[in-house]
Structure 1
Amino acid sequence: MIRNLFSLNAKKFLALQSLFYALANSIEALVPLLLAPILTRMLDPTGYGIWVLFVTYATFMRPIVGLTTQDAIRMRFYDLDQKQLDRFTHTALFVMVVLAAFVSAVTLVFGEVVATLTKFPEAWLISIVVAAFLYEVFYTVLALQQFHNRRGAFLTTQVIQAVLSLIFIVCFLLAGWDWRGVVLGRMLSMGIATLFSLKSLGFTFSALVRVPERSFYRNIASFGVVYWPAGAVVMAMATADKVIAAHYLGVEASAMYGVAALFASAFWMANHSFVLAWTPWLFRKLKLAASEGLQEVASVSILYFVMAAIAAAAFYFFALLVAPTLLGEAFHSAIPLLQYVMIAIVLQGYFMHNMKFLHFEKRIELMSIFSAATIGLNIWLSIVWVQAMGIRGIMLATAVSFGAAFIISGMLVMARYMNLRKGAKAVVG
Structure 2
Amino acid sequence: MNAKKFLALQSLFYGFANSIEALVPLLLAPILTRMLDPTGYGVWVLFVTYATFMRPIVGLTTQDAIRMRFLDFDQKQLDQFTHTALLVMVALAVFVSLATMVFGDFIETATKFPKAWLVSIVIAALLYEVFYMVLALQQFHNRRKQFLLTQVIQAGLSMAFIVAFLTSGWDWRGVVLGRMLGMAIAAAYSLRSLGFTLPSLFRVPKRSFYRNIASFGLVYWPAGAVVMVVGTTDKVVAAHFLGIEASAMYGVAALFASAFWMVNYSFVMAWTPWLFRKLKAAAEDGMQEVVSVSALYFVLAALAAASFYFFAVLFAPIILGEAFHTAIPLLKYIMLAIVLQGFFMHNMKFLHYDKRIEMMSAFSALAIGLNIGLSILWAQSMGIRGIMLATAVSFLAAFLISGVLVIARYANLQKGARTLAG
Question: TM-score when scaled to structure 2?
Answer: 1.00
Structure 2: distance between partners of 1:39 and 1:213: 47
Aligned residues: 422
Q: What is the identity, as a one-letter code, of the residue corresponding to 2:261?
A: W
Report deviation, 1:215. Answer: 3.2
- SS of equivalent residue, structure 1 residue 368: helix
- SS of equivalent residue, structure 2 residue 41: helix
Report deviation, 1:416. Answer: 1.1
Alignment of 1:133-172 (within 5 A): 133-172=126-165
Report deviation, 1:420. Answer: 1.0
Match among 57, 71, 76 for residue 78 of structure 1: 71
**Gapped runs of 5+ residues in structure 1?**
1-7
**Gapped runs of 5+ residues in structure 2?**
none
Structure 1: distance between partners of 2:348 and 2:228: 15
Q: What is the identity, as a one-letter code, of the residue corresponding to 1:398?
A: T
Match among 165, 170, 173 for residue 177 of structure 1: 170
Structure 1: distance between partners of 2:189 and 2:208: 27
C-alpha distance after superposition, 1:222-266 (max 9, x if no partner) = 000000000000000000000000000000000000000001111
Report deviation, 1:214. Answer: 4.8
Quick check: 1:134–1:191 contact (8 Å CA) kept in 2? yes
- SS of equivalent residue, structure 1 residue 78: coil
Report deviation, 1:176. Answer: 1.0
C-alpha distance after superposition, 1:374-401 (max 9, x if no partner) = 1000000011101100000000000000
Paired position in structure 2 for 1:252: 245
Quick check: 1:91–1:213 contact (8 Å CA) kept in 2? no
Match among 339, 357, 372 for residue 364 of structure 1: 357
Q: Do structure 1's residue 40 and structure 2's residue 33 form an aligned pair?
A: yes
- SS of equivalent residue, structure 1 residue 79: coil
- SS of equivalent residue, structure 2 residue 203: coil
Paired position in structure 2 for 1:269: 262
Q: What is the identity, as a one-letter code, of the residue corresponding to 1:62?
A: R
Q: Do structure 1's residue 225 and structure 2's residue 210 form an aligned pair?
A: no
Paired position in structure 2 for 1:291: 284
Distance 1:279 1:407, change over 3 A: same
Paired position in structure 1 for 2:366: 373
C-alpha distance after superposition, 1:57-109 (max 9, x if no partner) = 00000000000000000000000000000000000000000000000000000
Structure 2: distance between partners of 1:12 and 1:388: 47
Paired position in structure 2 for 1:347: 340
- SS of equivalent residue, structure 2 residue 212: helix
Structure 2: distance between partners of 1:191 and 1:175: 21
Quick check: 1:37–1:328 contact (8 Å CA) kept in 2? yes
Q: What is the identity, as a one-letter code, of the residue corresponding to 1:56?
A: T
Paired position in structure 2 for 1:52: 45
Structure 2: distance between partners of 1:130 and 1:177: 20
Report deviation, 1:213. Answer: 2.8
Structure 2: distance between partners of 1:15 and 1:336: 32
Alignment of 1:377-396 (within 5 A): 377-396=370-389
Match among 94, 100, 104 for residue 93 of structure 2: 100
Q: Do structure 1's residue 310 and structure 2's residue 264 form an aligned pair?
A: no
Structure 1: distance between partners of 2:398 and 2:362: 10
Q: Percent identity?
A: 78
Q: Do structure 1's residue 427 and structure 2's residue 420 form an aligned pair?
A: yes
Q: What is the identity, as a one-letter code, of the residue corresponding to 1:243?
A: V
- SS of equivalent residue, structure 2 residue 142: coil
Match among 396, 401, 405 for residue 398 of structure 2: 405
Alignment of 1:327-346 (within 5 A): 327-346=320-339
Q: What is the identity, as a one-letter code, of the residue corresponding to 2:87?
A: F
Quick check: 2:80–2:207 contact (8 Å CA) kept in 1? no
Structure 1: distance between partners of 2:328 and 2:17: 27
Structure 1: distance between partners of 2:384 and 2:325: 14
Paired position in structure 1 for 2:17: 24
Structure 2: distance between partners of 1:46 and 1:212: 45
Q: Do structure 1's residue 199 and structure 2's residue 192 form an aligned pair?
A: yes
Q: What is the identity, as a one-letter code, of the residue corresponding to 1:55?
A: V
